[in-house]
Structure 1
Amino acid sequence: MPSDPLDPAVHALLTESFRRLVGRPLEPEGEGGPDWLYRQAPFAVLAHDTGADPRFVYANRAAQGCFGYDWDAFLGMPSRLSAEAPERAERQRLLDAVARDGFVSGYAGIRVDAAGRRFPIAEGIVWQLIGEDGAVRGQAATFPVPADRR
């Protein structure tokens, strides 16, 4: 995936995969586009690649605020580092379920920010990123920004 958060191809992969798998749009009607999703969306969106140790390839500003990393720090960081070690096994079970089922909704868990502070996420949706050619490009997640992270 390209490293530009405003890349239209990245936006299309995120939003079209979400619509196909979850059955509804990621962006509200009348809103949208790469700039809106990256800069203005009031919910977090993150994505990682398909590597053996998946690395983040996208994190919108809302996600950056939650985790305390800027774009450059997020890009290429192993996604497992978004959870503390005890939470990683649960996170891996979730990712395995997403790979099997296409998406999982209602996800909740504990994540850790850049300063090592724990914070809860709830009402999350995690989905496969599937290109028009049918190839899996990674997985993405969205969740409402916790009140103490706004």
Structure 2
Amino acid sequence: MTAVSHHDVAFARLLVSSYQRLTGAPLWPSGPSHDGETARRLYEDAPFGLLAHDTSADPIFIYANTTAQRCFEYTWQEFVRLPSRLSAAPGGQSDRAGFVRSVAERGYASGYRGLRIAKSGRGFWIEDVTMWNLLDADGTHHGQAAVFRSWTDVSEDRTGG
């Protein structure tokens, strides 16, 4: 799967429906009801970071909403060429890989917290992360998506990591 457009209605439907099907909860409880508005709001207005990568052997990001772009300091064009593994800090690669594997095996996982690196080199924690398999109604696998509902710069982290 190649990168989708910012406001791709079919992809927004896949994000929302696969999340609901696998977790039993809505991705965004206060979200709009019609598809075009859902796609726009997920990309432009969501109060959480939302990312997706494809199914290639070394998965590449195919989607990143504006909240994720601000956190990671990448533009859309930069994000959709980036291998998703490069979003994690070098020391967090095995932790990230384990989380991705558990999602592949179980369909979704939540409660993750991981150290990430912005384009500038700034470290930040993504927190309250849920990752899920992007499965359409026919069960076709299109990749994985992740939502992170909060984030903290490493310099602000008082928990000691």
TM-score interval, normalised by the smaller of the two chains: over 0.9
Q: 1:65 to 1:30 in 2, by over 3 A?
A: closer
Whole-angstrom distance in 2 between the partners of 1:109 and 1:18: 20
In the alignment, is the contact (CA less than 8 A) between 1:21 and 1:127 conserved in 2? Answer: yes
* Alpha-carbon displacement from aligned partner over 1:57-89 (angstroms, at most 9, x marks no partner): 000000001100011110121001101222111
Where does residue 47 of structure 1 map in the other structure? 52
Q: Is 1:92 the counterpart of 2:97 in the alignment?
A: yes
How far apart in 2 are the matches of 1:131 and 1:85? 32
Summarize the Cα distance change of 1:88–1:69 in structure 2 as closer, same or farther, 3 Å threshold: same
- Runs of 4+ in structure 1 displaced over 4 angstroms? none
Partner of 2:158: none
> 1 CA distance for matches of 2:119 and 2:47?
20
Q: Is 1:114 paired with 2:109?
A: no
Aligned to 2:4: 3
- Structure 1 residue 61 corresponds to structure 2 residue 66: yes
| Structure whose CA Rg is larger | 2
Q: Aligned pair 1:12/2:13, yes or no? A: yes
Q: Which letter does structure 2 place at the counterpart of 1:35?
A: R
Amino acid at match of 1:9: A
Output the CA distance in 1 between the equivalents of 2:31 and 2:70: 24
The amino acid that maps onto 2:71 is C
Q: Structure 1, unaligned stretches of length 5 or more? A: none
Tell me: higher relative CO, structure 1 or 2? Use CA pairs within 8 A at least 6 residues apart.
1
Sort the Cα spacing of 1:30 and 1:42 in 2 relative to 1 into closer, same or farther, 3 A.
Answer: closer
**Considering only aligned residues, what root-mean-square deviation do their CA atoms show, in Å?**
1.3
Structure 1 distance, partners of 2:25, 2:13, is 14
Percent identity for Structure 1 against Structure 2 = 45
Contact 1:43-1:145 within 8 A present in 2 as well? yes
